[in-house]
Structures are given as C-alpha cells and as structure tokens.
C-alpha cells in the first residue's frame, strides 16, 4: 500500500510541462507527416478537396496545440497556413506549383520551429519573409477570386434576405405556383438616369410578379442613391427565372441581372436536415480510433518483466511438484504468459509506413533540385516491424534513397539518349519473408561501374591487386560498403562525400540484419536489406561449449550435423568438410571464443556436432561440444560496463535463471 | 549479517553532516570499505557465466532480476593474492554507478560503519603505487584498520590497457 502511494506521488510530480512538451513533439511530428503526405498527394490531384480537408485539420490541430503551449510564432504560422488551406478548400484558390511550393516551405518552417523548440525551448525563428509572402498570396488570390466570382454571377451577389416574420408573411400570401426570387439588377455605372432606370426596373418587376421588398424602395426610388449601381428585389412570381432575366435585361442601361430562387423556412429546414446528414456521414468517416500513446521505454520495461515471468515460469516447471493442482495450474500459467508475451510483441510492432512516409517528399525535393524526373513507388507500407528497428532504419534508408536519386537515376536527356524512359523509377518495397523483413531499394538508373569501383578501391588501398583477383563480381560490388569509397565524380550537397555506405552497413548489422547489393551497368542498382522481425525475441539454438550454454540465432543457422572425424578433409592445411559438393571450412568454437583449449583438439573425438552458420554469403561449420535444444530467447544487452565483446552479440536468461551468451556468428564466420 | 542471503541496504539513514556511512568487507585478511550509498544489495553468488574475450578481472555475468550484470573479481582487480578459501562467506555486492550495475565479488561482508571524513587518513605521498589511485585513504579504529576504496576509479579506470585479455 505504501509503495502504491509512493508511486502515485512520483507520477504526479512527473506530470509537468515536460510531459506535455513530449506529447507536443510527438503529435507535431505526426501532423507534419500528414501535411507533407497530403501536399504531395495534392500536387498530383489538385482537385481533391478531401486531401485539403485532412490537411486543414492537421494544421488546425497544430495551431491549437502551439497556442496552448504558447508558441506564438508557430501559432501565427500555422494560422496563416490554415487560411491558405481554407481558401483552397473552398475553391477560392487554384492549386498551382507556386502554392504547392509555398505549402511545402510552410511545413519546412513548422518543422524547423519545432526543432528550435526542442533544442532551445523557444520558437524564435525568422519567419517574417515567409509570412509576408504568404500574406501577399492570400490577399492577391482572394481579390482575384472575388473578381472572378462576380463574373460568374454566383452567390456573392449579396441578395436581399428575409427575416423570419417576412418569410411568414410571404408564405401566407404566396400562391401555390408562386416562387420567391431574389433578384439583383446592375445598372451601367456611366448612366445619368440611375434613379429613373431603377424605377423602371421596379415597375417592370411588379409587372412580372409581386415585389415584396426592394432596395431602393419603390416609394423613394427617386431620392435614394444606388449602392454599387444595384437594385435589389425580392420578387414573388409564377414566371420562371429565364423569363424574368430576359424581361429585366431588355430595360436600357441594365448591364447584369442576377437571380436566385429563395428557400423559405420549411424548405430551409429540409435542406438543413440534408446537410446534417452529410455532416454525420463525414464525421463518422473520421472517427478517432481509440489508442494510447505509450513511451517505448515503458514497453521495454514491460518486455523485461515478461521475460522475467517466463524465466520464473520455467523454474517453477522444473520444480516438478507432485500435486494435481500444480499440474492443472501450470498449463494455464503457460498459456497466459505466452499470450502476454505475444501481445506485448505485437504492441511493439508498427507498420513501417510511419517511417516510409517521409520519403516521397524527400524524393520529390531531390529530383526537383537535380532536375531529374522520378517515379517513386512505395510498397508494403503496412509491413510491421519492431518499433526500435524502425527508428534505427530511418537514416540508412534515407541515405540509400538519396544515392538512388542522386547517383543512380540519370538526367532525363541521358536516359532518353540511352533509350530509357525519361523518368526514372525508384522503388522502396518492404515485405515479410519467414521470420525476416526484407526491404528492397531499387532504381533503374545507371548502375555501378565495377571497373571504376575497383580502380578506386585500389587507389585508396582498400584492396590489393591479388585480393581483387580472387574476388568474384558479387564480392567486388560489396566494396561499396567500404569506408572512403564513392564512385561519382560529381559531389552534390546531399551525397557523394564517401561517407555513409559503410555507416549504412554498420547500422543494419547492428540491428542484426544484412545488406546486399546487386547492380548492373546501365540497368540499375538494387539493395536488399533483411532484418529480424523483432530485436527483443528470437528463436535460437542452444549449444554447449566448454560447460557453458550459448545461444546461436536460428536465422543464421542453415543446418546442424553430426560428423565423424574421418569425414574431415584438409584444404590448404585447413580442416573442411564436404557437404553436398560444397566445401565448408570448420572452425573450433573454443578456439574462436578464446576458451582454454588445452591439447585435446576436436579431431581426437570420434563424433562431433557441427552447426553450419551462414553469414554474408559464406558458410562455415562451427564445432560445438553439444547441441542442446531450440528456444525462444529474450535478447538482452551485455552490460554497458563490458562494452562490445568480440564474438558475443548479447545475452539471454535461460530457464534456471542463469545467463547464456549469444554468439555473434558474423564475427566468427 | 552475513547469514542472510540477500540484504537490501537501507539508505534512509543517511550521513549526518560530514559523517559518511561505509560498508565494510573482507578481501583476504584485510578490511575494506566503500560508500554505502553506492551499494544496492548484497547477494550470495549464483552461478556466474563466463564471458570470453574480456579482461581477467571480469569473472562473468549474472542475472539480477532480468538485468545482465557483470561480476568483477575485486581481488584480481586490486592485484591481491587469491588465497582465502571461504566459499561459505563469499558474497557479491551489487553497486550502481551512474545507472550501470556491477557486482563486486568479495570474501566476506562485515558491517556498516559511520566514519567522519576527517578521520580518513590519506596514504602517504611518497610510496604511491598505481593501486593507490583506487584508495581514498585509511581509517583506523581502536581494533582494526579499514582501507577506504574509490570504487568509481576502480571500475572505470581507463588507464589500465596493459591488462591482458583473459586466456589470450
């Protein structure tokens, strides 16, 4: 009880501005994403107002949030953008490249402001120029539009209206076939007899029907000055619109006639109802899904605790108590813990689309800058991946896509000359394959010139001539991941400084993934990244090496064998085995792990267990003392205190509560 | 005190003014002390998983409520001989330094003493050896002598690259 209270108090203290700020950052990020995404779509489909609606909502929410947090600059910025979107939404502003660019620039400013808030806690950012630009567009365009609407004789005619009492009177007096019209008649502003003409208009109107109300009034038409050269009438008549317009236009000095059928209360109500119905439809379409935003750290904690629960459950099972009750409850406990485990795993998964969404905008900007035409295709946005992996993937994918646009895709004229489609194709595709997630980044650009690459590698002394001669095509291509290599002579502001590809590879490998490259000159380049579904839990084979239990991730094992010592052959004084016509080198796990080996080499044994592991295309046979069992393991980091340990990628806790180390097969193979 | 398997140290009785509380323990036949507030708990050694390719003083890792925690052989680290065979009394003191948990493998836990910081004598300047970096000073009470160690220095000493990698 004390504990509970203690926790509550702590939590209450935490709920200060900081927590709101975190929320603000998380949400603004989301809204910025929505905005970017929709502007892109709008660029392709300028007429789709639905897009603008959701943009408007995002901008509006952003505005509300920043106002609450008292970020005045940001509030103003989003307010202006909101106005702009409102104009687009109401068809008062035509979407063109200028507007799109303006919107994009606005989003960039929002992003920058949010960044500023994050770093310095204030939103002081130079916006004046942009806001002025925005203001000009807002004013200009609206004026233009108003002028246009006047030409179009639409509702901006400013017709006379009726109040409730008047509507009642009209309704009482009008006959069944009568219609109520609002009629505006514009007179030539040059004419000298405005009053006379106005009185003629009113007279003509009363011949067409009953003038219920007019401005100027028929009584004082001779004295009153006309506003905007307009005569405004409410006319009850059984004539149709065309006839009325025709009759009124025949009066000299009349330049324009506007007419609108007025709706009286009963009709108005019906109309409202219809509108409401529509509104209901709309709102149900945007129903907010009930979800909670959770800090990933809390999920990590939860995962940890479930790991603990799993371990203790296994320990409980090992007790093997002779009791019926115990035997009943164990399977139950088992099921509940497994369910719990899978639920949390699922919670940690997010569609990769949350990260992909930033790319269309990036590719658009890049292609615009480099004057290339690019079709960017994204597939498999819904593929789910552990949140922590998604977070790490952003940078490497950004880099690869930039490379594809910058170095891969050729300029349109070059493509045309080479008989290719003028616009290049860049594809980003994610999909699940077994327990792995595969991400492809493919372009149909110039491809990598292998000769150039190897020449550069020689120059930079990354490889020697003899090493190079032993390499096959595949291996040579992998040289792009070596630090300090960049094949493009043109260095642009985004890529080409020779940093990055090695970092990309390292990041992917730190996620326990792999990256491969395929490329053909003139045809294109394809990167294939494979990643584990989740970092937290993996299937592993448990083996025994020198009385210690080690885990080897199942996704790096191709098979396990028991071999006899006579099957071992010698190639260049290395031990190998031949498996299905393939020569596989053997590695003593004890030696590679630096465990005291002594003189008893594995060859002294009659039979031995071999785990065939694969890593970056290679296969090696790892000799272990014993193959134990297969298990789902909860992956934990080896203590920070120890840092990176050679050949060990992490640790897990096994059934008896002991720690087992996870072998890093990449290092061994 | 040593009879209990696991003792959660009560950190609420904090130092009054200049007095600090020290947890004392035995390495071989000498008494050592470290700041009590650094210590989280004392446990009976479980099976320690050996970690290859680490320095010799790293005995391995253990599981402390789901957290993989390295265990340091303090005698090895301080360059003391490994003679005492008192498995019965061996303990691991779990300490927490800047969020990193480390276990110290020691021979025997003794008691908590309050020591006025003025009473800790600095070791004489003349005969400073490398290990003396690890030692804050010595406290002499009427019946014993306690070597007060600087646990941060001991654990995060970046200077000793000379140490051999185990079994290399």
User: Could you report the per-residue pLDDT of A394-439, keeping only the tens digit for each?
Assistant: 888 988 888 888 888 888 888 888 888 888 899 999 988 766 789 9
Active-site residue, A574 included: no
pTM attached to this predicted model? 0.50
pLDDT digits (tens, 9 = 90+) for A548-586: 899 998 888 888 988 887 788 878 777 888 888 888 888
* Percentage, residues of chain A above pLDDT 90: 3
Q: Are A124 and A109 in contact (CB under 8 A)?
A: no
- A215 lies in a domain? yes
pLDDT value at position B94?
93
CATH number at residue A337: 1.10.287
Cβ-based neighbour number of residue A405 at 10 Å: 26
Q: Is the pLDDT of residue A491 over 50?
A: no
- B162 lies in a domain? no
From chain A, pick out residues whose CB is under 8 angstroms from the CB of B65: 308
Both A320 and A401 in one domain: the answer is: no
A639-659: average pLDDT:
82
Residue of A nearest to B64 (CA): A657
Residue A348: HSE in the Cβ half-sphere, 13 Å Cα cutoff: 26
CATH number at residue A568: 2.40.50.180
pLDDT digits (tens, 9 = 90+) for A12-51: 433 445 667 777 888 888 888 888 888 888 887 777 777 7
CATH number at residue B88: 2.40.50.180
| Residue among B53, B63, B70 whose CB faces A657 most closely | B63
Block residue for tokens 């200009």: A140
Both A432 and A327 in one domain: the answer is: no
In which order are the strands placed within the sheet that holds A514-520? A374-379, A424-433, A436-443, A524-532, A514-520
- A486 lies in a domain? yes
Domain span at B69 = 7-155
* Percentage, residues of chain A above pLDDT 70: 84
- A405 lies in a domain? yes
CATH number at residue A73: 1.20.120.160
Domain termination site, one of A267, A283, A313? A267
Both A168 and A256 in one domain: the answer is: yes
Active-site residue, A514 included: no
pLDDT value at position A596?
64
Residue B60, helix vs strand vs coil: strand
Residue of B nearest to A308 (CA): B66
Active-site residue, A27 included: no
Q: DSSP string spanning A558-569?
A: EEEEEEEGGG-E
A216-233: average pLDDT:
75
Q: Can you read off the two tokens belonging to residue A313?
A: 């459950």
By the 10 Å C-beta count (0-12 exposed, 13-18 middle, 19+ buried), A644 is classed as exposed
Catalytic residue among A29, A60, A76, A204: A60
From chain B, pick out residues whose CB is under 8 angstroms from the CB of A637: 68
Distance CA A304, CA A312 (A): 12
Catalytic residue among A36, A73, A82, A442: A82
CATH number at residue A425: 3.30.565.10
pLDDT value at position A3?
41
Distance CA B86, CA A176 (A): 113
Both A113 and A165 in one domain: the answer is: no
- A232 lies in a domain? yes
State chain A's mean pLDDT as an integer. 77
From chain B, pick out residues whose CB is under 8 angstroms from the CB of A341: none
- B165 lies in a domain? no
In sequence order, which residues have a C-beta less than 8 Å from that of residue B98 and are 6 or more positions away? Answer: none
Chain A residues bordering chain B (beta-carbon distance below 8 Å): 304-305, 307-308, 311, 548, 593-596, 636-642, 645-648, 651, 653, 657-661
Both A346 and A358 in one domain: the answer is: no
| Residue among A305, A639, A660 whose CB faces B100 most closely | A639
- B123 lies in a domain? yes
CA A145 to chain centre: 35
In sequence order, which residues have a C-beta less than 8 Å from that of residue A266 and are 6 or more positions away? Answer: A171
CB contact under 8 A, B53 and A646: yes
pLDDT value at position A657?
76
Q: Which of A642, A650, A652, A667 to mutate: most B Cβ within 10 Å?
A: A642
How many domains does chain B divide into? Answer: 1
pLDDT digits (tens, 9 = 90+) for A291-306: 777 777 888 788 778 8
A500-520: average pLDDT:
83
Give the distance from residue A591's alpha carbon to the nearest chain B alpha carbon, in angstroms.
Answer: 10
pLDDT digits (tens, 9 = 90+) for A380-394: 888 888 887 888 888
Residue of A nearest to B156 (CA): A641
CB contact under 8 A, A595 and B167: yes
Residue B158 touches chain A, beta carbons under 8 Å: no
Q: Which of B12, B43, B52 to mutate: most A Cβ within 10 Å?
A: B52
pLDDT value at position A18?
67
| Residue among A307, A595, A659 whose CB faces B62 most closely | A659
CB contact under 8 A, B61 and A647: no
CB contact under 8 A, A594 and B52: yes
Regions of chain B with pLDDT less than 50 = 1-7, 10-16, 159-168
How many domains does chain A divide into? Answer: 5
Interface A-B, measured as beta-carbon pairs within 8 A, has a size of 80
Catalytic residue among A36, A184, A357, A403: A403
Both A316 and A417 in one domain: the answer is: no
Both A205 and A216 in one domain: the answer is: yes
- B76 lies in a domain? yes
User: Which stretch, A332-336, A474-478, A524-528, A595-599, has highest mean pLDDT?
Assistant: A524-528
Q: How confident is the model at residue A495 (pLDDT cuts 50, 70, 90)?
A: very low
Residue B165 touches chain A, beta carbons under 8 Å: yes
A149-164: average pLDDT:
60
- B141 lies in a domain? yes
Both A214 and A104 in one domain: the answer is: no
CATH number at residue A247: 3.30.70.1110
In sequence order, which residues have a C-beta less than 8 Å from that of residue A473 and are 6 or more positions away? Answer: A450
Both A464 and A567 in one domain: the answer is: no
Residue B58 touches chain A, beta carbons under 8 Å: yes
Block residue for tokens 């007060």: B148
User: Which stretch, A136-150, A475-489, A529-543, B65-79, has highest mean pLDDT?
Assistant: B65-79
Both A340 and A416 in one domain: the answer is: no
- B161 lies in a domain? no
Q: Is the pLDDT of residue A451 over 90?
A: no
A278-302: average pLDDT:
63
pLDDT digits (tens, 9 = 90+) for A314-341: 778 777 788 888 888 888 888 888 788 7
The least confident of A1-5, A239-243, A539-543 is A1-5
pLDDT digits (tens, 9 = 90+) for B80-122: 887 766 677 789 999 988 778 899 998 888 888 888 877 777 7
Q: Is the pLDDT of residue A647 over 80?
A: yes
Q: How confident is the model at residue A4 (pLDDT cuts 50, 70, 90)?
A: very low
| Residue among A595, A639, A657 whose CB faces B52 most closely | A595
Q: Is the pLDDT of residue A289 over 70?
A: no
Render the burial of A81-91: b for 16+ CB within 10 Å, e for the rest.
bbbbbbbbbee
- A87 lies in a domain? yes
Give the distance from residue A640's alpha carbon to the nearest chain B alpha carbon, in angstroms.
Answer: 7
Both A128 and A219 in one domain: the answer is: no
Q: Are A197 and A187 in contact (CB under 8 A)?
A: yes
Domain span at A325 = 297-351
State chain B's mean pLDDT as an integer. 76
Nearest to A664 by CA among A516, A510, A533: A510
Q: DSSP string spanning A417-455?
A: HTT--SSEEEEEEEEEETTEEEEEEEE-S----HHHHHH
pLDDT value at position B127?
53
pLDDT value at position A82?
83
In sequence order, which residues have a C-beta less than 8 Å from that of residue B114 and are 6 or more positions away? Answer: B15, B19, B20, B21, B22
Residue B101 touches chain A, beta carbons under 8 Å: yes
From chain B, pick out residues whose CB is under 8 angstroms from the CB of A308: 65-66
- B167 lies in a domain? no
pLDDT value at position A352?
87
- A550 lies in a domain? yes
Q: Is the pLDDT of residue A58 over 90?
A: no
Give the residue, A443 or B165, on which the prediction is more confident.
Answer: A443
CB contact under 8 A, A658 and B47: yes
Give the distance from residue A543's alpha carbon to the nearest chain B alpha carbon, in angstroms.
Answer: 14
């Amino acid at each position: 009880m004390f504990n509970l209270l203690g926790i509550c108090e702590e939590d209450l203290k935490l709920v200060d501005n900081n927590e709101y700020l975190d929320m603000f950052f998380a949400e603004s990020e989301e809204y910025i994403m929505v905005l970017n995404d929709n502007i892109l779509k709008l660029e392709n489909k300028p007429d789709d107002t639905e897009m603008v609606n959701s943009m408007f909502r995002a901008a509006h929410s952003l505005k509300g949030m920043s106002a609450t947090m008292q970020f005045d600059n940001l509030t103003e910025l989003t307010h202006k953008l909101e106005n702009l979107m409102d104009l687009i939404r109401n068809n008062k502003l035509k979407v063109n490249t200028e507007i799109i660019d303006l919107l994009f620039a606005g989003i960039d400013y929002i992003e920058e402001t949010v960044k500023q808030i994050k770093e310095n806690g204030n939103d002081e950012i130079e916006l004046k120029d942009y806001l002025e630009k925005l203001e000009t567009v807002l004013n200009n365009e609206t004026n233009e539009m108003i002028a246009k609407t006047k030409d179009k004789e639409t509702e901006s005619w400013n017709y006379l209206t009726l109040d409730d009492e008047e509507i009642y009177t009209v309704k009482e007096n009008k006959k069944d076939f009568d219609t109520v019209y609002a009629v505006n008649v514009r007179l030539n502003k040059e004419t000298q007899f405005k009053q006379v003409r106005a009185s003629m208009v009113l007279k003509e109107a009363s011949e067409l029907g009953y003038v219920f109300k007019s401005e100027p009034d028929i009584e004082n038409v001779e004295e009153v000055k006309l506003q905007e050269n307009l005569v405004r009438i409410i006319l009850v008549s059984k004539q149709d619109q065309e006839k009325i317009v025709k009759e009124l236009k025949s009066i000299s000095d009349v330049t324009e006639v506007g007419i609108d059928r007025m709706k009286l209360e009963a009709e108005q109500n019906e109309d409202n109802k219809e509108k409401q119905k529509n509104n209901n439809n709309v709102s149900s379409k945007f129903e907010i899904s009930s979800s909670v935003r959770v800090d990933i750290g809390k999920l990590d904690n939860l995962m940890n605790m479930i790991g603990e629960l799993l371990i203790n459950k296994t320990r409980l099972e090992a007790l093997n108590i002779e009791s019926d009750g115990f035997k009943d409850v164990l399977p139950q406990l088992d099921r509940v813990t497994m369910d719990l485990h899978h639920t949390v795993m699922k919670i940690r998964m997010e569609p990769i689309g949350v990260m992909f969404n930033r790319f269309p905008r990036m590719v658009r900007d890049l292609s615009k800058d480099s004057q290339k035409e690019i079709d960017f295709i994204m597939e498999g946005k819904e593929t789910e991946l552990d949140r922590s992996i998604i977070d790490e993937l952003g940078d490497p994918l950004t880099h690869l896509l930039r490379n594809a646009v910058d170095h891969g895709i050729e300029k349109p004229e070059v493509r045309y000359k080479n008989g290719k489609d003028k616009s290049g194709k860049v594809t980003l595709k994610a999909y699940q394959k077994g327990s792995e997630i595969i991400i492809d980044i493919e372009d149909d650009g110039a491809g990598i010139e292998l000769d150039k690459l190897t020449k550069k590698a020689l120059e930079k002394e990354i490889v020697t001539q003899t090493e190079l001669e032993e390499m096959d095509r595949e291996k040579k291509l992998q040289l792009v991941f070596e630090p300090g290599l960049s094949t493009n002579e043109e260095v642009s502001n985004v890529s080409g400084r020779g940093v990055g590809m090695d970092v990309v590879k390292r990041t992917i490998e730190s996620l326990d993934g792999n990256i491969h490259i395929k490329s053909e000159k003139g045809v294109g380049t394809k990167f294939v990244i494979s990643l584990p579904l989740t970092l937290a839990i993996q299937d592993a084979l448990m083996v025994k090496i020198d009385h210690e239990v080690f885990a080897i991730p199942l996704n790096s094992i191709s098979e396990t064998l028991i071999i006899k010592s006579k099957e071992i052959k010698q190639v260049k004084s290395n031990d190998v085995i031949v498996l299905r016509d393939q020569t596989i080198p053997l590695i003593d796990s004890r030696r590679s792990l630096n465990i005291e080996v002594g003189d008893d080499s594995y060859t002294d044994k009659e039979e031995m267990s071999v785990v065939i592991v694969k890593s970056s295309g290679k296969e090696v046979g790892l000799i272990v003392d014993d193959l134990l069992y297969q298990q789902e393991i909860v992956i934990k980091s080896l203590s920070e205190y120890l840092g990176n340990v050679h050949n060990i990628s992490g640790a897990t806790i096994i059934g008896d509560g002991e720690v087992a180390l996870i072998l890093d097969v990449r290092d061994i193979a | 005190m040593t009879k209990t398997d696991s003792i959660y140290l009560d950190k609420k009785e904090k130092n009054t003014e200049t007095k600090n509380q020290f947890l004392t323990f035995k390495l071989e036949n000498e008494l050592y002390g470290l700041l009590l507030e650094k210590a989280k708990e004392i446990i009976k050694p479980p099976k320690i998983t050996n970690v290859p390719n680490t320095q010799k003083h790293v005995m391995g890792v253990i599981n402390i409520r789901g957290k993989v925690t390295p265990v340091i052989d303090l005698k090895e680290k301080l360059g003391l001989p490994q003679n005492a065979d008192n498995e019965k009394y061996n303990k691991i003191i779990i300490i927490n330094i800047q969020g990193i948990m480390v276990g110290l493998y020691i021979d025997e836990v003794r008691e908590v003493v309050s020591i006025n910081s003025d009473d800790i004598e600095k070791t004489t300047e003349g005969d400073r050896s490398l290990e003396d970096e690890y030692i804050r000073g010595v406290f002499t009470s009427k019946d014993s002598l306690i070597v007060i160690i600087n646990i941060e220095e001991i654990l995060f000493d970046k200077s000793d690259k000379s140490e051999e990698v185990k079994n290399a």
